[in-house]
Amino acid sequence: MRIGIDLGGTKIEAIALSPAGQEIARLRVTTPRDYAASLDAIAGLVRELERAAGAAGTVGVGIPGTVVPRTGLVKNANSTWLNGQPLERDLAGRLGRPVRVMNDANCFALSEATDGAAAGAPVVFGVILGTGVGGGIVVDGRCLAGANLIAGEWGHNPLPWVTPDEQPGPPCYCGKRGCVEAWLSGPGFERDHAQHTGVTLSGQEIVGAAASGDAGAAATLARYHHRLSRAIASLINVLDPDVVVLGGGMSNIVGLPEATSALLPRHVFAVGASSDPVATRVVRAAHGDSSGVRGAAWLWPASA
């Protein structure tokens, strides 16, 4: 059996998967805002899952940050009490077995590439469109970490092919302007609508208004489709993935994968004629919010 842990900023989710990927059990606790207590909580969840299943399992952990291979220390976690800590080593010591730790967006991509919407595809780009915008790359069933441990982090690249009215672009918390995240996150979508219409609505309200014929909301949604399509086209021009999987709260917008796909030929290099369509498929995540914790479990593949 495989155990996956999703160590989030507010909750820790744990799942036990059968060898075939069936969910055996799932647990959830509030994240302690303290390193030692987080280790205790994870060890407790593993013990409880193993008691429930009557079997031992491999353990993979997804975190909102990365582990530096050279030092084994966590960096870039927005759960700041994890930063600088040897999480993999400490968990292995408590659990008496090796533990694998990976960035949570990479876990999302791994889950969808293993038995989700991109199952079996050779090259998969997993995109998170939520409060922030992140991503992960899976090649032949393995996460691509990258030399700087930022492979797939497209959220702080600039939005490509900007129009004059999109310049210089909205400010981003990273200090730059016009980042993909500043345009395509949930808050970015809401800000864009407010700027164009003077009306402040939630993302869901904007989508609902567009569906019931509100011209301003429909225009906001159309701008979102165009921007997402441009941003994905620019990464297709570099990575050329077989499948782009959309996850996170914004991916639930009805018709988003289809609308994005339809616009890709405008910017993907040297395709677009009906005889030469874009081969990359854009799809919605199959496992929804469960992809992070499932992908953590898949950090131990069948061959391991």
Do 5 and 49 contact (CB within 8 A), yes or no?
Answer: no
Question: Could you give the CA distance from residue 69 to residue 46 in angstroms, rounded to a whole number?
Answer: 24
- Interaction of residue 174 with Zn ion, rule CB under 5 A: yes
Q: Which CB atom, from 60 or from 132, has the smaller least distance to Zn ion?
A: 132
Rounded least distance, CB 176 to Zn ion, Å: 5
Select the span of 60-68, 174-182, 246-254, 287-295 touching Zn ion (CB under 5 A): 174-182
Which one among 5, 49, 121, 172 touches Zn ion, defined by CB under 5 A?
A: 172
Could you tell me the strand order of the sheet in which 23-30 lies? 23-30, 11-17, 2-7, 58-63, 99-103
Question: Applying CB under 5 A, which of residues 49, 179, 221, 231 lies at the interface with Zn ion?
Answer: 179
In the complex, what is the shortest distance from the CB of residue 236 to Zn ion, in angstroms, rounded to a whole number? 21
Least distance to Zn ion, CB of residue 76, Å? 14
CB nearer to Zn ion: pick between 250 and 259:
250
Q: 2, 100, 156, 225: which one contacts Zn ion (CB under 5 A)?
A: 156
x/- mask, Zn ion, residues 116-155, rule CB under 5 A, reads ----------------------------------------
Least distance to Zn ion, CB of residue 184, Å: 11
Pair 105, 131: CB distance under 8 Å: no
* 82 scored as a contact of Zn ion (CB under 5 A): no
Q: What minimum distance in Å lies between the beta carbon of 177 and Zn ion?
A: 8
Whether the Cβ atoms of residue 60 and residue 300 lie closer than 8 Å to each other: yes
Q: Rounded to the nearest 5°, which phi and psi values hold at 140?
A: 50, 45
Q: How far is the CB of 231 from Zn ion (least distance, A)?
A: 13
Cis peptide before 122 (omega within 30 of 0): no
CB 243 to Zn ion: min, Å:
26
Q: Which is nearer to Zn ion, 149 or 218 (CB)?
A: 149
Q: Is 231 in the site for Zn ion (CB under 5 A)?
A: no
Three-state SS annotation for 191-220: HHHHHHHCCCCCHHHHHHHHHCCCHHHHHH
Q: Characterise 187 by phi-psi region: left (phi > 0), alpha (psi -120 to 50), beta (else).
A: alpha
The span from the CA of 246 to the CA of 95, in Å, is 34
Is 278:251 a contact under the CB 8 Å cutoff? Answer: no
With CB under 5 A, what is the number of residues at the site for Zn ion? Answer: 4
Distance between CA atoms of residues 236 and 24, nearest Å: 37
- Applying CB under 5 A, the residues found at the interface with Zn ion are 156, 172, 174, 179
